[in-house]
Structure 1
């Protein structure tokens, strides 16, 4: 899976660093972004998957998802949140998220979901 580039978007520094390290330990290339704005300022073409928190200042994970859908609809987005409920999950899936996960994420499950999102077998 090392050819795949994953964006990790989370305003919490410790979570962003941990998720980026997890992705790298699974053989993925990963770049961390402290905000949806910072990620969306990038060229999206090199990315194979986005993992984004929902609750962030200024632009939420839902805003990021909408922007990704408008610019590169096929790019899979996995939304994560520490505040899950049925309405949030339903909105995430309705708006086009590939997967919805609770924080703290089970590391094996997150790696499995990323692999599925990029069309790979689980490492």
Structure 2
């Protein structure tokens, strides 16, 4: 039996974590959610096929986590979620190697399609 890929979701707000889990539920993937970057880093499970993180988190920010993960030789593809008006964070995220930056008001339209694509193309250049 093949192992299902993992999608890790880091979101401080419990309601937003539930919403993301619900949006991602049609995928044939395990959804692991975390309330902070630190709780994600403390988890020693399998590496995710995709990581979704809020830009603004308590403690380590999503951008700081992205930088830390990019120092690894095989980081997972990272999607950052942010406010619609946060152009600076979006530009920084893309320069730091995020595969996408999705504005929070548009998550329901874009997130499922983008994560499905990333999981289907694991191992390929994103």
TM range (shorter): 0.7 to 0.9
SS of the aligned residue for 1:101 comes to strand
1:96 Cα shift? 0.6
8 Å Cα contact 2:5/2:29 also seen in 1: yes
8 Å Cα contact 1:23/1:29 also seen in 2: no
1:71 Cα shift? 2.9
- Which ranges in structure 2 are unaligned for 5 or more consecutive residues? 122-126
Q: Which residue of 2 aligns with 1:115?
A: 116
SS of the aligned residue for 2:43 comes to coil
Say yes or no: does 1:4 pair with 2:42: no
Q: Which residue of 2 aligns with 1:37?
A: 38
Q: Render the CA deviation track for 1:55-97: whole Å, top value 9, x for unaligned.
A: 1111100011112112354410000012543221110000010
Say yes or no: does 1:51 pair with 2:45: no
Query: What TM-score do you get using the length of structure 1 for normalisation?
Result: 0.85
Say yes or no: does 1:98 pair with 2:99: yes
8 Å Cα contact 1:93/1:100 also seen in 2: yes
Over the residues paired in the alignment, what is the CA RMSD in angstroms? Answer: 1.9
- Which ranges in structure 1 are unaligned for 5 or more consecutive residues? none
